[in-house]
Amino acid sequence: MSSDLGRAEAMLRAACGDRLRTGVELAPFTTFRVGGPSSLFLEASSEEDLAAVAAAVRATGLPVLVLGRGSNLLISDHGFPGLALRLGPGFRWAVVEGRELRAGAAMALPALAGLALQHGLTGLEWAVAVPASLGGAVRMNAGAHGVEMAEVLRTAEVFDLVAGERATVRAEEAGFRYRGSDLPDPGVVVAATLRLRAGAPERIRARMDEIREWRRQHQPLAEPNCGSVFKNPPNDAAARLIERCGLKGFAIGGARISTKHANFIVTRPGARAEDVAALICAVQDRVAEGTGILLSPEVHLVGAFDRLPR
């Protein structure tokens, strides 16, 4: 362990006690179910914990990996040489006031979609089957079925891990783009307010049922995956390009292109993160050779890999 990491561990141990853990395997915290351990691991119970993390970051340069539901992460088999930070139950709450829904960042998107339905609010149906936390969805501008988070977000509350303080960022100031934003990094989204519209519950429920059924028919929900692996290029679909190049079912080690949806990679027991990364690179190469288009990964690779995607 480096001296800086040791100093960071001592600082966090003094502030958080035995809740700070070492050598925690991160695979169970990702939807790929692969990856190695994190040097340090903390499930934050309050903003006091985040303040302690910020102090360690300022003092030691501690690398921090913020974990939501791990649906867009591929963590190296070697693990993460820093602190994996997850928000605990204290960040799992939601309130509805009029047509606004304010919630803690640890809330799951499907749960928030269900809450919106209960209150006759429309605009969040697309999220009913998205396996993401609110915080991760805000930071990555998650979206599905033609809608994205930027369209319903009013404000995001972000704890800046350099400044050590909380700030409210309006949606128009967040620098949202396709599957990305300019929110403070390193920083943790701790809450968000969504602006929805009044709607008929029966229509909201029907749309949610339609989205669930579409996903059952078109996506490999029963196998570990991270959702869409590649961003869709302008005016095209990554899945169409991958399928056109004959890559459905193509496998490297324990990772395979889904036969149900070509923009999904699924893993089987014994798969390694390196298998997934190698498959991502192979798909990039084959699609670039076959179509002239370089696909850009939507999934984020964390840690050391033999080869990184372009």
Q: Are 91 and 106 in contact (CB under 8 A)?
A: yes
Together in a domain, 79 and 104: no
pLDDT at 3: 82
Can you read off the two tokens belonging to residue 182? 């300019």
User: How many domains would you assign to the chain?
Assistant: 3
Give 1-68 as a 3 state SS string: CCHHHHHHHHHHHHHHHHHCEEEEECHHHCCCCCCCEEEEEEEECCHHHHHHHHHHHHHHCCCEEEEC
Within a domain: residue 113?
A: yes
Together in a domain, 196 and 109: yes
Q: Is the pLDDT of residue 149 over 90?
A: yes
Q: Are 62 and 287 in contact (CB under 8 A)?
A: no
Together in a domain, 104 and 35: no
Grade residue 1 by pLDDT with cuts at 50, 70 and 90.
low
pLDDT at 289: 98
Provide the edge-to-edge strand list for the sheet that holds 255-257.
251-252, 255-257, 265-267
Within a domain: residue 253?
A: yes
Q: Are 169 and 155 in contact (CB under 8 A)?
A: yes
CB atoms within 10 A of CB 206: 12
What CATH number has the domain bearing residue 64? 3.30.43.10
Within a domain: residue 165?
A: yes
Together in a domain, 65 and 21: yes
The tally of CA atoms less than 13 A away on the side-chain side of residue 127 is 30
Range of the domain at 161: 93-204
What CATH number has the domain bearing residue 170? 3.30.465.10
For the residues 42-66, what does the mean pLDDT come to? Answer: 97
Together in a domain, 35 and 118: no
Together in a domain, 68 and 152: no
Within a domain: residue 193?
A: yes
Together in a domain, 102 and 36: no
What CATH number has the domain bearing residue 244? 3.90.78.10
Together in a domain, 97 and 179: yes
Active site residues: 179, 228, 298
Grade residue 27 by pLDDT with cuts at 50, 70 and 90.
very high
Together in a domain, 119 and 35: no
Q: Of 45, 69, 87, at which residue does a domain stop?
A: 87
Residue-wise pLDDT for 205-264, tens only, equals: 999 999 999 999 999 999 999 999 999 999 999 999 999 999 999 999 999 999 999 999
Q: What is the widest separation between alpha-carbon atoms in the chain?
A: 59
Q: Of 26, 52, 87, at which residue does a domain stop?
A: 87
